[in-house]
Amino acid sequence: MLISKIELNNFRQFKGNQTIDFSTSPERNITLILGDNTSGKTTLLQSVLWCFYEKAHFKTREELLNKLVAREMNEVNNEKTVSVTVSIIHKNYEYTIQREQAFIFSNNEVKQERGSRLTISYKDKDGQTEFIPERNVRDTVNDILPEDLSSYFLYDTERFGNITDKKDVTDAVKGLLGLTVLENTLEHIGRETRKDTVLGKFSSNLNLGNEKKSKNALVDAQRAEENKEQLENRLKKVNEQIEYYEERKEELQGILRNMKSVSELQKEKEKFERNLNIVSNDLENDKKLFFRNFNRNLYSFFSLPLIKKAKLKLVDADVSDRGIKDMNANSIKHIFERGVCVCGTRIKGNKIAHEHLQKELEYLPPKSVGLLINDFQSRLDAYKTLGETYYEQLNQSYRNILSNKKRVSDLNEEIEVLSKEIERNRESASYELELKDVNQKLMGFIQTRDQIIANIAVEEHKIKSKKEEYEQSIAESKKNKEIKLYMAYAKEIYNWVEKTYKKREKDIKNELEEKVNEYFSKIYHGQRKVEINDKYRVKLITLENDEELITDESQGLETVKNFSFLAGIVDLAKNKLKDSKNDTELEIESEAFPLILDAPFSNADERHVSSISKVLPEVAEQLILIVMRKDWNYAEKEMSNKVGKKYYLDKQSEVYTIIKEEVV
Amino acid sequence: MNIEQEEKIKLNQKKLSMMKLKIIHLEKKYVKTKFKTRSEVIDQIRKIIIDEAKKNI
């Protein structure tokens, strides 16, 4: 960033429009501004701070407006503006930053309007002027020169104090040399254990339980498949047995039917057996129907006894139905308010109609609960009817079950009687006994078959549900996999930043100490050296007979130390810090800023002014010196050949200074 | 399950470089202007990583 121009308009002692064009030439990079005491040297530096950050160290804000201009204001000439416009070159773009503050004359005094206005424009590549949107102007200023670094580049000697005591020096050095960027990146990516970090947020999106769940679901589904297969094999064998015994049964029945002595008995028995089959099927169907009905209206089954009890309780209740159904007291109140009934009768002034409605209120809730009870009873009746029908259906099913059970039992007895008779016949006895055995085995196998079929259905259901569970978990596992990939990238970036940060921090501390000592030795003529600790705090060490001592510092020495440090960080900041390990194009670049120095030599002696003057133009890209003539005299010898522009603050009075350009 | 014990995930170096560039660019802007809140920057970094990781290169 280079400052090319500043325009002051009624700013403090700079009445009217006054301009300074700064030198942007690399060879003659000094702009010299000379001024006597109270001519406005510090005001000039403050004007840049005010323009950029609305920050100016004056006693009162009203003093921004030139006093002569303020004095000229009256009821007619009642509006004036203070403005500072700074033109800069930043990243190859020409920016114009302007801050305006309006003042008005009201009630015989000059008042500052609330809030100043900051506007920023720049010239695009085609030379067209574009304005930064108002919401972004503050961000843009900070992007150009961060406020927390401003005191190091807009250097006010009187206010700067001792660099050793400056609390923000660590942040300033880190900010300037790109370490804050890395430090913030580390803090933002963070650790998985910290929720409000990139890794923490990724981690909280992971569902690690799902991985186990999906594996378990798959194992369960596979196990169910195996079970189903085993059951199907068993079913096949059981069916073979059933088929065999059914064939044998038919053979035996045929034999018995063909035996003249028991043929009729056997035919009779088979007739009963057919009936038994039919009735047994009916019995099964009745059971199913009963359970289906029971489940369908379970609520009625349990509520009917309660409904009956409730009805008994309400037998003696006053269920007056004189009120209108579904009408409530609020409706009547509304009719009163609107003054006309739903039938069109006017209520207002109509005593009879009014009384009718008043009476109606007596029958309605909350005054009367008769209507509510009546309504409740109607509902109870409806539920009771529904419940009773349901009970009747259940009863019917139950009666059918009992009846069929009895028929099954009777038929079995009939069959048993006939079987015994056939057994008594010597010729048919062995066949009948075998037939009985076959029937028993058949029944056993059929029961086993039904059980296997039911078990297969259970396994099939398990397979289906576990497969669904597995699919769902797999989908979530895929998501986990993605998140883990993101986390791997985040960790890799974290490790890279951490490594880069540690290396740079160490390098910067060493390089800075080296640079500051280099400049210190150039500026200071004595046996001292500079030490910089991990917090970038500067300490002066005196070398006495090879012994290191800490001694008191004069104001002059403080100035030398400050400038050595400033020169050191400006020099380092000019260098681009490259990612040496990966040798990529990735750069954590620092920026070069202009140095605007107000009264830099005020505490230094002639010899030190001369040496400071040698160093600063070399290290800074642009140097703006605001000094008194007497101080300049010591620096002139070293700096005059680098001065590109020269101005004099010509003090006309305590409240008026004219900026005059002088020949270089 | 310990994530650290997971098998090494292969990372695409081009994507990684792009992520680093974009994140540092974002952080540089954040350090100067504080144009976003901390939480917004964290979400933005997550988005950079997700978007770059998903790209077909």
Q: What is the ipTM of this complex?
A: 0.90
| Interval A299-328: pLDDT, tens | 877 888 888 888 888 877 766 656 676 777
Q: Is pLDDT of B25 > 80?
A: yes
> What is the per-residue pLDDT for A473?
78
> What is the per-residue pLDDT for A363?
75
> Which residues of A fall within a CB distance of 8 Å from B23?
185, 493
Question: Which one of B3, B14, B43, B50 makes the best mutation probe of the A interface by having the most chain A beta carbons within 10 Å?
Answer: B3
DSSP state of A327: -
Task: State the average pLDDT for chain A.
Answer: 86
Q: Is pLDDT of A157 > 80?
A: no
Q: Which residue of A has its CA nearest to B44?
A: A198
Q: Does residue A366 have a cis bond before it (omega within 30 degrees)?
A: yes
Q: Is pLDDT of A420 > 50?
A: yes
> What is the per-residue pLDDT for A578?
39
> What is the per-residue pLDDT for A588?
52
> What is the per-residue pLDDT for A581?
42
Name the residue facing B23 among A206, A493, A584 (closest C-beta). A493
Determine if residue A10 is left, alpha or beta; phi over 0 gives left, psi from -120 to 50 gives alpha, anything else beta.
left
> What is the per-residue pLDDT for B8?
63
Q: How far apart are CA A543 and CA A329, in angstroms?
A: 101
Of A46-60, A206-220, A291-305, A627-641, the range with the lowest mean pLDDT is: A206-220
Residue A410 touches partner B, C-beta closer than 8 Å:
no
Closest CA to B32 of A90, A623, A571, A535: A90
Kindly determine whether residue B50 and residue A486, on different chains, have CB atoms separated by under 8 Å.
Answer: yes
**Is residue A2 within 8 Å of residue A622, measured between CB atoms?**
yes
> What is the per-residue pLDDT for A208?
67
Q: Locate tokens 């005491």: which residue?
A: A37
Residue A216 touches partner B, C-beta closer than 8 Å:
no
> What is the per-residue pLDDT for B33?
67
> What is the per-residue pLDDT for B39?
92
**pTM for this one?**
0.57
Q: How far apart are CA A527 and CA A516, in angstroms?
A: 15
Band of pLDDT at residue A385, cut at 50, 70 and 90: confident
DSSP state of A297: T
Kindly determine whether residue B49 and residue A198, on different chains, have CB atoms separated by under 8 Å.
Answer: yes
Residue B6 touches partner A, C-beta closer than 8 Å:
yes
Kindly determine whether residue A202 and residue B46, on different chains, have CB atoms separated by under 8 Å.
Answer: yes
Band of pLDDT at residue A148, cut at 50, 70 and 90: confident
| Interval A62-96: pLDDT, tens | 589 999 999 999 888 889 999 999 999 988 889 99
Q: Is pLDDT of A514 > 80?
A: yes
| Interval A124-138: pLDDT, tens | 878 899 999 888 888
Residue B56: C-alpha distances to residues A172, B12, B14, B26 (Å): 41, 11, 11, 23
Closest CA to A228 of A37, A461, A449, A395: A461
> What is the per-residue pLDDT for A196?
87
Residue A175 touches partner B, C-beta closer than 8 Å:
yes
Q: Residue A560 CB: number of other CB atoms within 10 A?
A: 26
Determine if residue A129 is left, alpha or beta; phi over 0 gives left, psi from -120 to 50 gives alpha, anything else beta.
beta
B47 against A356, higher pLDDT: B47
Q: How far apart are CA A115 and CA A282, in angstroms?
A: 94
Question: Which one of B21, B31, B47, B50 makes the best mutation probe of the A interface by having the most chain A beta carbons within 10 Å?
Answer: B31
Q: How far apart are CA A417 and CA A426, in angstroms?
A: 16
> What is the per-residue pLDDT for A575?
64
Q: How far apart are CA A339 and CA A7, in angstroms?
A: 75
Residue B24 touches partner A, C-beta closer than 8 Å:
yes
> What is the per-residue pLDDT for A587?
54
Of A53-67, A75-89, A621-635, the range with the lowest mean pLDDT is: A53-67
Kindly determine whether residue A486 and residue B45, on different chains, have CB atoms separated by under 8 Å.
Answer: no
Highest-pLDDT range among A207-211, A252-256, A615-619, A629-633: A252-256
Structure tokens at A310: 């409730």
Q: Which residue of A has its CA nearest to B12?
A: A489
- CA of B5 vs chain A CAs: smallest distance (Å): 12
Q: How far apart are CA A403 and CA A604, in angstroms?
A: 124
Question: Which one of A118, A185, A195, A501 makes the best mutation probe of the B interface by having the most chain B beta carbons within 10 Å?
Answer: A185
Q: How far apart are CA A8 and CA A568, in angstroms?
A: 32
